Amino acid sequence: MYKKFYDCKEEPFNITSDPEFFFCSAHHQEAFNHLLYGIEHRKGIMALTGEIGTGKTTICRTLLNKLNHATKTAFILNPNFSETQLLQVILKDFGILPLKKNNNKLHLINVLNEFLLEETSYGHNVVLIIDEAQNLKTSQLEQVRLLSNLETEKSKLLQIILVGQPELFDKLKLSSLRQLNQRISVRYHILPIEKSEVRAYIYHRLKVTDATLKLNFTPEAINAIYLHSKGTPRLINILCDRALLAGFIEETFMIDEKIINQCAREVR
């Protein structure tokens, strides 16, 4: 509704996980570097956690876009399947088509192992990212551990990134999952954006959409945004999107503290 008024080619504060809008806050860049290190050095199992809306999925999508052609990837957004179905989805995302007549777990794992060995022979790396991993059942997490056993004498054939809310680490502390927990070689818990970075985050998103330079968030508005969002990117986006709508209605290019506070009340 307000795109034309602010000369935006698209809405700057959508809450979708669009890599084009990836903002290199100190925490997000560090998380990205941890995962990239784990992949490049074939560390096996990695875990990325963070509260809702902190940008975990955006980091993963950005990572997928940055990996070179020699890295084969699969990205599972919703792991709410049975153990066998999860294997089938993983194979499908890797582009593997196992024999339809034989879909038992052992066959599926053997097919995956053959794929991994073939890719390794080409000098390729293979990465599996499972989002919302806090929803995995204990049996599924144990299956992930078994997949991590696929290796040569030199390195892991499959790099696995478990992405989820803080409940994931709580689940990994279960005694039944201690073997899996011990195998996680790279861990990172992403924190919200720092107060000093909020202004840069907002203007980064405006710049991506070519918004008019006349659009201005006052320093007081920036402080109010941080106060209401605590630096959580998704909440910043929701507030700013509502603020631009309010600014459009008032026909103003100046987003001030009054507009932000009013939008915060409406969002609640």
Q: Model confidence over 141-160: pLDDT tens digits?
A: 998 988 998 887 778 899 99
Torsion of CA 9, 15, 20, 26, to 10 degrees: 130
Q: Comparing C-alpha atoms, which of 124, 126, 173 is closest to residue 148?
A: 126
Q: Model confidence over 186-215: pLDDT tens digits?
A: 999 999 999 999 999 999 999 999 999 999
Q: Would you kindly state where each structural domain of the chain is located, as residue ranges?
A: 26-190, 193-267
What are the counts of helices (DSSP H) followed by strands (DSSP E) for the chain? 11, 7
For residues 66 and 82, give the distance between their C-alpha atoms in angstroms, rounded to a whole number: 31
Measured from the Cβ of residue 29, the count of other Cβ atoms closer than 10 Å reads 13
Helix (H/G/I), strand (E/B), else coil: 71: strand
Query: Domain 26-190 class?
Result: alpha beta
Q: What are phi and psi for residue 47, nearest 5 degrees?
A: -135, 130
Sign of the dihedral defined by the CA atoms of residues 172, 176, 182, 183, in that order: negative
Per-residue pLDDT at 101: 66
> pLDDT over 90 for what percent of the chain?
82
How does DSSP classify residue 54? S
What is the CATH topology of the domain spanning 193-267? Helicase, Ruva Protein; domain 3 (1.10.8)
For residues 52 and 97, give the distance between their C-alpha atoms in angstroms, rounded to a whole number: 34
Per-residue pLDDT at 161: 97
CA atoms within 13 A on the CB side of 91: 23
What b/e string do you get for 43-57 counting C-beta neighbours within 10 Å, with b at 16 or more? Answer: bbbbbbbbeebbbbb
- For the whole prediction, is pTM greater than 0.85? yes
Task: Give me the chain's average pLDDT, please.
Answer: 93
Q: Model confidence over 35-48: pLDDT tens digits?
A: 999 999 999 999 99
Between these two residues, 183 and 104, which has the higher pLDDT value?
A: 183
Question: Tokens 């088509």, residue?
Answer: 97
Report residue 94's pLDDT band, with 50, 70 and 90 as the boundaries.
Answer: very high
Measured CA distances, 30 to 40, 95, 198 (Å): 15, 31, 17
Measured from the Cβ of residue 182, the count of other Cβ atoms closer than 10 Å reads 11
Residue 54 has pLDDT above 90, yes or no: yes
Residues 6+ apart with CB under 8 A from 161: 35, 38, 39, 45, 46, 47, 48, 60, 127, 128, 129, 130
Per-residue pLDDT at 104: 84
Average pLDDT of the segment spanning 115-127: 94
Q: What are phi and psi for residue 70, nearest 5 degrees?
A: -85, 5
Report residue 80's pLDDT band, with 50, 70 and 90 as the boundaries.
Answer: confident
Range scoring the smallest mean pLDDT among 77-81, 91-95, 178-182, 192-196: 77-81
Q: Comparing C-alpha atoms, which of 36, 54, 56 is closest to residue 46?
A: 36
Per-residue pLDDT at 99: 64
Tell me the helix, strand and coil percentages in the chain, rounded to 5: 50, 15, 35
